Amino acid sequence: MTYRTVIHTPRLTPAQRQYFEERGRLESHHHHHCLHHHRPLALESLRRRFRCDINTLPPAFDPQRVRLVVSDLDSTLIALETIDELAAEVGAKSQVAAITERAMAGELDFAAALRERVALLEGLPVARLERVFETRMKPAIQPGAADTLAWLKRRGIVFAVVSGGFTFFIERLRRILPIDHALACRLEMKGGYLTGRVLEPIVDKDTKTAFLRDLARRMGLDPMETAALGDGANDVAMLQAAGLGVAYHGRAVVRQHADACIDFGDWHALRQLLEHP
């Protein structure tokens, strides 16, 4: 069996280059390297040793066949947790952030934790959501995301976002990023204020997985022709359902179930994973 391992750095020291060349055929690309080899590598050890992302593609996965990429929103496409920023508007950020972290680590039921956090937003003016989007979310779009989404578009790859976050923000992101499909939760609003309730259905791990599978089915795709990105426990099942599941600066529970881990780099690393036949 021949393995393909992407080394997500354009620069290797002579010693690092020698290490990889002794294990297979090393190809140099503009922003990264690709190693073709016959024996598995100890990836975690190498990542710590070389301080860069190193990922072996699943043997049955062909990057050239990918036609659908599905991504989580918070801490994946954007570098923040939206609900934590909303909570800052009512002086409850630390309280909500603590719940968010436990939910993303898989320590809490996601739906129950979401309802608990949204309840603390009762009375927040909807106009504040617009301010959060303009001043915090837009500047927090992950480095390399816009370029990578444009690259996906040029290749005819559909890009979708599925999130336990909120449609209010994704609708506005779609005005500035090429997002083809989206699914998220809806905040209940009355008289220009949040009621403190989230409308059903809540986008949990099962909803995310079903979203990916349904999109693939409607596009006539095999699951191996899809890729997915996420960072929290709510994303694990979706990553496992995709041909390539990528943990993007993910929690431990996500990293241990993912096919690839992006811990040091940004969204350009996804492009590098999808470039090799």
- Tens digit of each residue's pLDDT (9 = 90 or more) over 127-137: 999 999 999 99
Q: Is residue 109 part of a domain?
A: no
Q: What is the mean pLDDT of residues 105-115?
A: 90
**Residue 1, pLDDT score:** 86
> Which amino acid appears at position 1 of this protein?
M
φ/ψ region of 106 (left if φ > 0, alpha if ψ in -120 to 50, else beta) reads left
pLDDT at 276 over 70: no
Sheet strands (E) in the chain: 3-7, 24-28, 33-37, 54-56, 68-71, 158-166, 181-190, 193-199, 226-230, 244-248, 260-262
pLDDT at 246 over 80: yes
Q: Is residue 98 part of a domain?
A: no
Q: Is residue 196 part of a domain?
A: no
pLDDT at 277 over 70: no
Q: Is residue 43 part of a domain?
A: yes
Concerning whether 266 is annotated as a catalytic residue, the answer is no
Residue 172 · residue 133 · CB < 8 Å: yes
Concerning whether 72 is annotated as a catalytic residue, the answer is yes
Q: What is the pLDDT of residues 228-245, one digit of tens each?
A: 999 999 999 999 999 999
Dump the DSSP string for 32-44: -EEEEESS---HH
Cα–Cα dist 177/141, whole Å: 10
Note the pTM of the prediction, 2 decimals.
0.95
pLDDT at 220 over 80: yes
- The catalytically annotated residue of 74, 84, 259, 266 is 74
- The catalytically annotated residue of 53, 62, 72, 109 is 72
Give the residue from 78, 73, 230, 75 showing the smallest Cα distance to 139.
78
Q: Is residue 260 part of a domain?
A: no
Number of alpha carbons in the 13 Å side-chain half-sphere of residue 86: 28
Q: Is residue 244 part of a domain?
A: no
Number of domains in the chain: 1
Cα–Cα dist 196/123, whole Å: 7
Domain boundaries, position 27: 1-56
Q: Is residue 87 part of a domain?
A: no
Cα–Cα dist 177/71, whole Å: 13
Q: List all residues 6 or more positions away from 251 whose beta carbon is below 8 Å from its beta carbon.
A: 104, 105, 106, 231, 232, 233
Q: What is the pLDDT of residues 174-188, one digit of tens each?
A: 999 999 999 999 999
pLDDT at 103 over 90: no
Q: What is the pLDDT of residues 21-51, one digit of tens each?
A: 999 999 999 899 999 999 999 999 999 999 9
Residue 144 DSSP label: T
| Helix (H), strand (E) at residue 97 | helix 93-104
Q: Is residue 52 part of a domain?
A: yes
Cα–Cα dist 252/126, whole Å: 35
Question: Residue holding tokens 């909120």?
Answer: 166
